[in-house]
Structure 1
Amino acid sequence: MKDIEIFKRDINQVLEELKVDPDIGLRDEEISKRREKYGENALTKKKGQSLLMKFINQFKNFMVIILLIAAVVSGSLGEIKDSIIIAIVVILNAILGLIQENKAEKSLEALKNMTTPLTKVMRNSKLIQIKSPELVPGDIVIIESGDYIPADGRILEESSLKIEESALTGESLPVDKNTEVPEGDKVPLGDRKNMVYSTSMVTHGRGKIVVTNTGMDTEIGKIAKMLEAEEKVKTPLQIKLEELGKYLGILALSVCVVIFLLGYFQGRPPLDMFMLAVSLAVAAIPEGLPAIVTIVLSLGVQRMIKKNAIVRRLPAVETLGTASIICSDKTGTLTQNKMTVTKLYVYDELVDAVNIKDISDATSNKVVEIGLLCNDASISQEGGEKKAIGDPTETALVVLALQKGLLKKEQEELKPRVNEIPFDSDRKLMSTIHETDEGLQVFTKGAPDILLERCNRILINLEVKPLTDEIKEKIKASNIGMANEALRVLAFAFREIQEAPENPTSDNIEKDLVFVGLVGMIDPPREEVKEAVKKCRMAGIRPIMITGDYKLTALTIGKELGILEEGSSAIEGKELDDLSDDELIKNIHKYSIYARVSPEHKVRIVKAWQANGRIVAMTGDGVNDAPSLKTANIGCAMGITGTDVSKEAADIILTDDNFATIVAAVEEGRNIYANIKKSIHYLLSCNIGEIVALFIALVLNIPSPLIPIHILWINLVTDSLPALSLGIDPPEADIMSKKPRDPKESIFSEKLGFFIGIRGVIIGLVTLMAFYTGWNHSVEVGRTMAFLSLAFAQFGNSISVRSLDKSLLKIGIFSNRHLIGAIFISSVLMLTVLFVPFLRNVFDLALLNSNQWMMVILYSLIPLTAGEILKQLVKSK
């Protein structure tokens, strides 16, 4: 059924169209027909890719394709070793990516693997329990406090029914429901009081509904469909690495052509020149980079799991390092999603209720007592921890009493309830009658303005006195003051009666009351979020609050958390409707808080920031957050309170529902990107050194200082462990005091390209010098010295590239123990091919004397020393 018709129709019309009797429910034959027609009451899932397709997708990368071509060419020319080494690296990269992708999916499935909820439904004239996915349109469902709404439905009967719809509408307080048809043509979702919606929860009362829509036809189903239309943008790292792959591919092909033509015109054999060109092409491309990037990201993901975050898409954790905007939902993300009493007013005195246990005022105690007993919430014991269950407003009062040492069950035994008048949304009051030591007493709570009009006396220090107009004005002023602080205010009163009427009514019970006091409550902010917001500011990240709650409440929370900074303001959804997309893009920087917004508004806000060149992270937990989570560059869903739809749309899931975890993810992301740049710095400068050495030797028409197997072995040894160790380098101390990098900036920014070029030339010249020194003895000795000097020079280079502006003494030579271990292992591998006779013959190497070893050590230290001097020279300019 179409919802726009359902909430406007009479109940009998809805039942007639659904062909169901509310007292009998559906019969078995009809249930089977409808299940076949409407399917399961669940959101449809997109068909996942097969394992084979996921594996094939790992090869859809320009750099990987170039490497595969090089492997084929090498193999076709008889260089089977070269071909095998390249193929192993490429396949290893694909396997690592596939394993990590599956790990993330399994982690997500573990989060979602919860018990299927049961639903009480009337079928064949019997009330039975079934699994929620088995519901069909027309089912008659019974709901009561604590139940989740299993499907969209029209209310047939209700008794003090309140539904918490924050996951769908963003409204933090429960909504009073009724059976009446709302007036007007355009009624917002949150104001359709005669409807209930899937994923909402009953916080108070009970009711009977008829299911109108199931599965993808529900409101959350409609939002799920919206997700299909949003395309996922590529992360900055993906873009930069694709660009780098293209540059290196073009470089490799250019080197091949230039070297081949140069050798050809020198009269060298074409086949030899082609083999040399292929070797140089392999040297030009750091074939270990794709695997290293994947492994570095994977290790970052594992660290994030320990910090309560599951990364669903591998590059996502890095992208947080570029985030300059974090858009966050309020309820449950910035706040505790738990109403808490913060203020208590008794005659002419406003006190802080946070320290209620230290307040001994008798009148305050009476407020607490009324709040506890005129209350349908309860306390449950779960694993040694007391937990309040029921309407958030009432649970706040139960918790307040608990802080005073008053247990609801004990107090109800001492002062049992003998009758009641349930809360009514029109009356806005609730009253209960209790037997006390002083006799029968009526306890009443409700809206301050209404309850005050029913009072003619006031309790002051346990003395009942007349309620004068002057005192009334003071009470009203206190009510307004708390309301202006975005507190939800309740008033409390009582009266003594001689006997309890059999049918108590508002007229005979809720009159001539004795006013006792007021309490103000709010869903308070998480304490750790305040510090997280400060860190965001320090890191140049702007936090933004986007909520479906009221503007005043959002402003109060925003100010307390530091989100509403000087010069920024708040705006409501209806004001956003008056702004065109261009106007919103132009003025987006003016607003730090967005209140009373819809899912469409959230998507517009994210896109407006993106249009201003910002990388946007969006946090949220509700179904209404899902479209914006997917639209954002990085979507962060809450793992505990988050809905399945929001988790499916997100890149990262925070298992502790803590906004502060985002800050840890930002630091991790920044460090990952910095470390990947260190690996690129190291790999490219080393490979350029190889190219420089071979190219100059060719131009000078002297023997090549390295043969193809030397290049491949050095690349295998030096491009693996040392480069990987740089990828897990500890973060620099000032990493979170820098502004987010511009996502458009080159990966070679901050003079990285200059440093790579200079270091590469120095390594290349050192290699030539070592070859020339040994060449006087023999070509084999020269190549051995070049082979060793190049490798050890690269090891020294790996230590120096850890920072572009800080010396080794400042960052600590041994602060990355993994790198020291990698250099040791790689050095052993290099020396093994020299000192094992069989391998020495395969590699055409020669043993060196002591003088030659001294020269190798001297040459090897030159790039490290030059790199450190270069840092200081560039820094001083």
Structure 2
Amino acid sequence: MLCNNAGLLPPGTERERWGILGDPTEAALLVMAAKGGVDIEERRNALPRLGQLPFEAVRKRMASINLSDGKPRAYVKGAPREILDLCTHILTNGKVESLTDPLREMILSKNDSMAKDGLRVLGITYRPLDFSEGFTIENTEKDLIFLGLVGMMDPPRPEVPKAIELCHRAGIRVVMITGDYGLTALSIAKKIRLTKTVNPKIVTGNELSEMDDEVLRKLLREEEVVFARVSPEHKMRVVTAFKDMDEIVAVTGDGVNDAPALKKADIGVAMGIRGSDVAKEAAAMILTDDNFASIMAAIEEGRAVYANIKKFVTYIFASNIPEIVPFIAFALFKIPLPLTVMQILAVDLGTDMVPALGLGAEPPEPGVMDKPPRPMNQRLLDIPLLLRAYCFLGPMEAAACMAGFFFIYFQYGWVPGMAMPDSGVIYLTATTMSLAGIVATQIGNVFACRTERESVFTVGFFKNKLVLLGIVSELAIITTLIYTPFLQKIFGLAPIGLKQWGFLFAFTPVLFLVEEGRKWIVRNWHS
């Protein structure tokens, strides 16, 4: 996952701390204006704007041309290192003096010191202009007079470090790629625990431009890296490099410049509050709260949905075995058909529906975020799922189904070798036991399918109310079918007593506990 500061820092919480060099009067006025100590409208009226040179990522600065004492003056702010290269003088104690090399080194040292504290630092300059020159980049942003440095802090959202930790546990790599100064980006990365190493590599946009694609891919594979002072083209290169490495790439962004990377990524995530319309159009997903932690909540929910689909399928597939085994036994051993087509429909379209839907509402299983992302080529219906349903849970249900069928014949004195009636009360009661046996074992199965590895007792045995409602509904359906006379005739059923119910429900905990034992073995085998 590639992210700039979008989602990591809360919107609208800037200017918590200020660092000043240069002229104290002019610089203090800027600070007071930003902190609300000066009437902004009054200052705007006193210094009406004549023009503006908008911010550009390449220039890393912007300029405002205002009328001051009847004369035009350009106020230029931007990245300190880049803007300092355009300065020839500095305003100190109301006097304009030459900007010497020692002063430049002191300013840059202060800039780095502020950046290491996580401040976003701007250099503030000005220059008197002449109306005759016109207001262009070439004749405005040159021979500037340095005023000072302004440091702004966007404290990271308190929930972001935990979200980053969750990313690492889930096998998701997060890379910061930002237009901020390298030391500022590194400071933020450390505060949110994005970096694991003590001194991760900082790669600037200029350094990235000099790398070929193979070097970039090697860097991304082998080193922990923070990208700083990047342009939209650089973001595209990083996204492309990750995709060339067969990684699934998600990109967060909010600005117009982020749109190409958002579009290129497998999943583009735009900010809904402060994101530009262009970024939102390019993205596949929009965060309504601009919070990085929401992405992790979405990933957890997505993993839970995927797991619940597998639980749903396992539960449904398991009942196919006790539905098919009676037909196999009928064909091979020449016994009466233990289960009719109508009774199979009663299971598939009646008793199984609500419990299966309850599994779809199962909350995320403990440890779901401790697994690495699944491979792109992994199928939903994989071998472990089919083995669990068809070779483990299903045969136990089939055993209960056939045991219930033969239990009735044994009650009426049948012994192996004798002919088995294929009609009448004995046969109807036996097929009823087959159907009720499937329902009884499906109750144990629905509890067993609530988790894949963890014990059901750790997630709360009665926590999923929809599963409990499903069990009640399937019991209501099966008893209605068995004890309602006109439905008995439609489905070929007969009433059964408490003794028969007790025999069938003995299989319910057996199936559940055997499956709990299998999960225990799996957990200890992989631990």
1:268-347 correspondence to structure 2 within 5 Å: 326-328=1-3, 330=4, 332-335=6-9, 340-341=14-15, 342-345=17-20
2:179 aligned with 1:539: no
Task: Give the C-alpha shift of residue 533 in structure 1.
Answer: 2.2
* 8 A Cα contact 1:483 1:489, kept in partner: no
Matched position secondary structure for 1:702: coil
Distance 2:353 2:471 in 1: 10
Going from structure 1 to structure 2, the CA distance change for 1:628 and 1:869 (only over 3 Å counts) comes to same
Deviation at 1:421, TM superposition (A): 11
SS in 2 for 1:802: coil
Give the structure 2 partner of residue 785 of structure 1.
Answer: 433
Whichever residue aligns with residue 768 of structure 1, its letter is M
CA contact (8 A) 1:448 1:489 kept: no
Cα distance in 2 for partners of 1:449, 1:574 equals 16
CA contact (8 A) 2:49 2:65 kept: no
Letter in 2 for 1:862: V
Counterpart for residue 740 of structure 1:
373
Give the corresponding residue for 1:768.
Answer: 402
Equivalents in 2 of 1:590, 1:634: separation in Å? 24
| Counterpart for residue 659 of structure 1 | 292
Instruction: Quote the residue 1:588 is aligned against.
Output: 220
Kept in 1: contact 2:120–2:181 (CA 8 A): no
The amino acid that maps onto 1:846 is: A
* Cα distance in 1 for residues equivalent to 2:62 and 2:476: 85
Q: Which one of 267, 270, 278 corresponds to residue 637 of structure 1?
A: 270
> CA offsets per residue over residues 481-527 of structure 1, 9 Å max, x none?
31572844435899xxxxxx999xxxxxxxxxx99854334777555
Out of 519, 522, 528, which is 2:150 matched to?
519
| Structure 2 counterpart of 1:563, from 169, 188, 194 | 194
C-alpha offsets along residues 420-460 of structure 1, whole Å, 9 cap, x if unaligned? Answer: 9999999989787579xxxxxx99887668778354x538x
Give the whole-Å Cα distance in 1 for the aligned partners of 2:335 and 2:166: 58
Distance 1:677-1:573 versus aligned 2 partners, 3 A rule = same
State which of 782, 785, 803 in structure 1 corresponds to 2:451: 803
2-side partners of 1:541 and 1:530: how far apart?
A: 14
Q: Equivalent residue of 2:493, what SS?
A: coil
Cα distance per residue 1:74-121 (max 9 Å; x no partner): xxxxxxxxxxxxxxxxxxxxxxxxxxxxxxxxxxxxxxxxxxxxxxxx
Q: Deviation of residue 785 (structure 1)?
A: 0.6
Please show how residues 705-720 of structure 1 align to structure 2 within 5 Å. Answer: 705-720=338-353
Report the CA distance between 1:633 and its aligned residue: 3.1
1:771 partner letter = F
Q: Which amino acid aligns with 1:782?
A: A
**Alignment of 1:453 onto 2:101:** no
Contact 1:718 1:795 in 2 (8 A): no
Structure 1 residues 607 and 718: CA distance shift in structure 2, 3 A: farther
Give the Å deviation of 1:792.
1.9
Query: Secondary structure at the residue paired with 1:490?
Result: strand
Query: 2:482 aligns to what?
Result: 834
Matches within 5 A, 1:378-457: 398=33, 400-402=34-36, 405-409=37-41, 453-455=89-91
Look up the equivalent residue of 1:699 and give its one-letter code.
Answer: L
| Alpha-carbon contact 1:345-1:478 (below 8 Å) kept | no
- Structure 1: 5+ residue runs without aligned partners? 1-325, 348-362, 373-397, 436-441, 495-500, 504-513
CA RMSD of aligned residues (A): 4.5
SS at match of 2:280: helix
Give the equivalent residue in structure 2 for 1:614.
247
- CA–CA separation in structure 1 for the residues paired with 2:267 and 2:468: 35
Q: Does 1:727 align with 2:356?
A: no
Q: Residue 682 of structure 1: SS of its match in structure 2?
A: helix
Q: Contact 2:366 / 2:459 at 8 angstroms: preserved in 1?
A: no
Q: Give the 5 Å matches for 1:172-251.
A: none
Q: What are the ranges of 5 or more consecutive residues in structure 2 without an aligned counterpart?
A: 78-82, 133-144, 413-425
Q: Which residue of 1 aligns with 2:106?
A: 477
Q: Aligned partners of 1:838, 1:423: CA distance in 2, in Å?
A: 85
| Residue equivalent to 1:672 | 305
Secondary structure, counterpart of 1:542 in structure 2: coil
Question: What is the alpha-carbon distance in structure 2 between the residues aligned to residue 340 and residue 577 of structure 1?
Answer: 31
Determine helix, strand or coil for the equivalent of 2:309. Answer: helix
Q: Which whole-Å CA distance do the structure 2 matches of 1:339 and 1:430 have between them?
A: 27
How far apart are the structure 2 equivalents of 1:809 and 1:658?
34
Q: How far apart, CA to CA, are the structure 1 residues paired with 2:44 and 2:238? A: 50
1:317-363 deviations in Å (ceiling 9; x for gaps) = xxxxxxxxx122x264445576944332368xxxxxxxxxxxxxxx9
Mark the CA change 1:448 to 1:624 in structure 2 (over 3 Å): closer, same or farther: closer
Are the counterparts in 2 of residues 627 and 649 from structure 1 also a CA contact under 8 Å? yes
Share of identical aligned residues, percent? 32
> In structure 1, how many angstroms separate the alpha carbons of the residues matched to 2:158 and 2:166?
14
Supply the distance in 2 between the matched residues of 1:345 and 1:626 (Cα, whole angstroms).
35
Q: 1:800 to 1:565 in 2, by over 3 A?
A: same
User: Are the counterparts in 2 of residues 639 and 656 from structure 1 also a CA contact under 8 Å?
Assistant: yes
Could you say if the C-alpha distance between residues 646 and 430 of structure 1 is closer, same or farther in structure 2, counting changes exceeding 3 Å?
closer
* 2:422 corresponds to: none
> CA separation of 1:533/1:837 partners in 2, compared to 1, >3 Å: closer, same or farther?
same
Instruction: Supply the AA of the counterpart residue of 1:532.
Output: A
What is the match of residue 29 of structure 2?
Answer: 369
Q: Do the aligned partners of residues 410 and 750 (structure 1) sit closer, same or farther apart at CA in structure 2, a change above 3 Å counting?
A: farther
User: C-alpha displacement at 1:689, in angstroms?
Assistant: 3.1
For residues 842 and 586 of structure 1, the distance between their equivalents in structure 2, rounded to whole angstroms, comes to 70
> Does structure 2 retain, via aligned residues, the 8 Å contact 1:334–1:529?
yes
The question of whether the paired residues in 2 share the 8 Å contact of 1:530 and 1:561 is answered with: yes
Q: 2:47, 2:66 within 8 Å by CA — same for their partners in 1? A: no
**Structure 2 counterpart of 1:807, which letter?**
S
Instruction: State the distance in 2 between where 1:565 and 1:751 align.
Output: 35
User: For the residues of structure 2 that align with 1:739 and 1:482, how far apart are their CA atoms?
Assistant: 40
Structure 1-normalised TM-score? 0.47
Separation of aligned partners in 2, 1:737 and 1:774: 49
How far 1:654 moved relative to its partner? 1.4
Q: C-alpha separation between the residues in 1 aligned to 2:124 and 2:88?
A: 8
Which residue matches 2:393?
759
